[in-house]
Amino acid sequence: MKYCKYCGAPLWPDGLYCTECGKKIEFEEPAGAVEESEKAVPVQEVPVHEEKKEPEEKPKKGWLKFVVAAVFAAFLCGIGGWFFANGRSGNNTLAGKWQAVDGQLLTIELEKDGTGLIDNPSLGLEQNITWTADGTELVITLPVYGSSSAYEYKLDGDTLTIISETNPDDGAIVLSRK
């Protein structure tokens, strides 16, 4: 029996390739020992069976979705914080200087900290105030007199309409942001 000179596996007597390593078998035979008819036979190479490798599993992209969601949530929190800090909620919504639009000389200044000033030269009134806004209710307190008045308010852009809750027949005061 003959053996493969590359891997040492036993060879088939009429085999052209090693069944273990797939290398072509090279026989050493004396010169002229091969007949002419054997030389004329075309040799067809047999493909060597290669072991299939499993594709490497790619890491899952779940972490990427998590990071994108976290960045988006942080962005929304930042936008909400900016709106809160810049006058889009609570007392901050009404903060600013307001001037009556009906020809009255009434001016109301509302500070973000809940303090302010009412100035109406035609009535000789200039008073420091404290104020709060909740929902659609505006409460103005005149500390000098210790009295508070509740008003329903409507804010439409830069127009503030104030209606007395205790005396709704007094009419509405319409103010414009200065």
Q: What are the tens digits of pLDDT across the range 91-142?
A: 668 889 999 887 778 899 999 898 999 888 887 888 898 888 888 888 888 8
Phi, psi of 102 (to 5 degrees): -95, 20
Average pLDDT, 10 consecutive residues per value, the chain (178 residues): 85 83 74 52 62 64 74 74 50 84 85 90 85 86 80 87 75 85
Burial code (b: 16+ CB inside 10 Å, e: under 16) for 87-126 equals eeeebbebbbbbebeeeeebbbbbbbeeebebeeeeeeee
What span, in angstroms and rounded, lies between the C-alpha atoms of 113 and 91?
8
φ, ψ at 124 (rounded to 5°) = 65, 35
- What pTM was computed for the model? 0.47
Q: Which domains, from first to last, does the chain contain?
A: 1-45 (no CATH), 92-177 (2.40.128.50)
